[in-house]
Amino acid sequence: MDIIYRDITKANVDVIVNAANGIGYMGGMLGRFIKLPGVAESIHYATKGDVEKEAKEKSRKHKSIPSFFYGHRSGECYVTSAESLSCKWIIHAVTMPYPGMRTSIRKVRLLIPEIIKTAQLLKARSIAIPLLGTGTGGLKEEEVLALFDEEFSRVQGIDIIIFRKV
């Protein structure tokens, strides 16, 4: 497990993990033109909004019900393409149901096996993952880093690269 300090959208990996909300919002109209802080916002800016459009679609569990009313719950993951990024997929790990909410270390702990299972289904050999929940979610970086060290040390067959804020 390596730790790298740079923009996660530049990672040369199979999968990038995004700490997501359950409705697919990643920065909106403004985020396509101005690079805002955060992993979702970096992905949104780098792909000119294409991944956000797909994320909003994939977050709709039922086509007839808007995701705002029935999106993904904390602890669930969904996958989108990576569009113009060098990785193949983006795993959106839902740390909060709606944008701007706080999260908990318990929710991040629940997400780790889901992320690994999803990466294995995609046959991914490498993952770039940010310190989930340490931006908008309000968690302490040291707490999440300790959790990652504990949980990811057991994973075999997938290279895991931790990305910290630039």
Give 66-114 pLDDT, tens digit per residue: 555 667 889 999 999 999 999 999 999 999 988 989 999 999 999 999 9
Please count the CA atoms within 13 angstroms of the CA of 165 that sit on its side-chain side: 12
Torsion sign across C-alpha atoms 50, 51, 55, 58: positive
Which pLDDT score, from 0 to 100, does residue 68 have?
56
The class level of CATH for 2-164 reads alpha beta
Q: Give burial (CB, 10 Å; 0-12/13-18/19+) of 155.
A: middle
**CB atoms closer than 10 angstroms to residue 50:** 18
CB-count exposure of residue 12 (10 Å: 0-12, 13-18, 19+): exposed
- Against a cut of 0.75, is the pTM above it? yes
